[in-house]
Amino acid sequence: MCEKCWADAARAAGPYGDQVDEYRRLCRERKDNPCTPEEQAGPDAEWCPVCGRKTLHQHTGQCMTHACT
């Protein structure tokens, strides 16, 4: 789950659109140029003790870097 894409999908869908469909569309669109692990983790992410980056997902606590997963 990418928090940046989720937030962008909410803005794109607007008050009457389908945020889930927009999220799927954005994921397909950004497949070759994905968001950074920091963007994926969200604005309230925490620092990962393993990689030293602010990439612990704000909801799941999972590190979003490939080296830690």
State how far the Cα of 51 lies from the Cα of 36, in Å rounded to an integer. 14
Q: DSSP letters of 7-24?
A: HHHHHHHTTTS-HHHHHH
Full pLDDT tens readout for the chain, 69 residues: 899 999 999 999 999 999 999 999 999 999 999 999 999 999 999 999 999 999 999 999 999 998 886
How many residues are recorded in the chain? Answer: 69
The verdict on pTM exceeding 0.75 is yes
Check residue 2 and give its pLDDT.
96
> In this structure, are residues 38 and 50 in contact, taking their beta carbons and an 8 Å threshold?
no
Q: Domain extents for the chain?
A: 1-69
Check residue 69 and give its pLDDT.
64
